[in-house]
Amino acid sequence: MPPDRAALHVVALCGSLRGEESSTQRALRIAVQEMEANGATVDLIDLAELSLPFCESSDHTDDHPGVRALKERAAKADVFLLGTPEYHNSFSGVLKNALDLLSSEELRGKLFGLLGVGGGDMGAVTALGHLRYVVRGVGGWSLPAQVSIANAWKAFDGDRVKDPELEKRLRSFAKELVRFGRLYALEPKFEAGLLRVIDEDPAEE
């Protein structure tokens, strides 16, 4: 049976608190458009709206309404898209705090796409490398492809990316995330079928 194209749900977390002005959020919004055009449902979470506490221990924070909302929304994800600005050669503390407030229940075994923006010529390559390490720490799988936007302050004209090549890269990254998300969602069924074939003993035939 072909996979249900509408069934893939992506949760995108924006690691900048600057709302609509944020280049991270602008890039995420374009990625969201592309993922929706490819049949995924997407929940773009603006962490500023949740007024999250600092992570302390789940005993202290799980009852916080913002944490409850974050956990409920994150639990629905088949795939995560993490967007971050580069801050002092790494990803934002806001994003790390949000990930720390979540647990393996919401994160483990899921696919992650990584996108970053930086004010300088180097973009967010270092931040994305660090984030990849954290994805490993939560038991997630990160898509090899990523998008790093350099000179973020001049990369956008309103909600539009100025450089058509960069826009193309951003959109094909978003499309690839949906594509691999679907393949990954099929994996348990595929594995079950494969094991049936492997377990067949040719001597019994």
Ligand X SMILES: Cc1cc2nc3c(=O)[nH]c(=O)nc-3n(C[C@H](O)[C@H](O)[C@H](O)COP(=O)(O)O)c2cc1C
Q: How far is residue 64's CA from residue 194's CA, in Å, rounded to a whole number?
A: 44
Residue 120 touches ligand X, criterion: CB under 6 A = yes
Pair of tokens at residue 177: 């995330």
**Does the footprint of ligand X cover residue 12 (CB under 6 A)?**
no
- The verdict on 86 binding ligand X (CB under 6 A) reads yes
The DSSP output letter for 53 is P
Q: If binding is defined by CB under 6 A, does position 118 make contact with ligand X?
A: yes
Query: Which one of 2-10, 31-39, 82-90, 160-168 is the stretch in contact with ligand X (CB under 6 A)?
Result: 82-90
The binder of ligand X chosen from 36, 39, 41, 87 (CB under 6 A) = 87
The kind and range of the H/E element at 80 are strand 79-85
Question: What 3-state DSSP class applies to 116?
Answer: strand
Instruction: Return the range that interacts with ligand X (CB under 6 A); candidates 18-26, 71-79, 101-109, 186-194.
Output: 18-26
Strands 160-161 and 156-157: antiparallel
Identify any residues that bridge with 160 across adjacent strands, giving them in sequence order. Answer: 157
Positions in the binding site for ligand X (CB under 6 A):
16, 18, 22-24, 85-89, 117-120, 122, 152-153
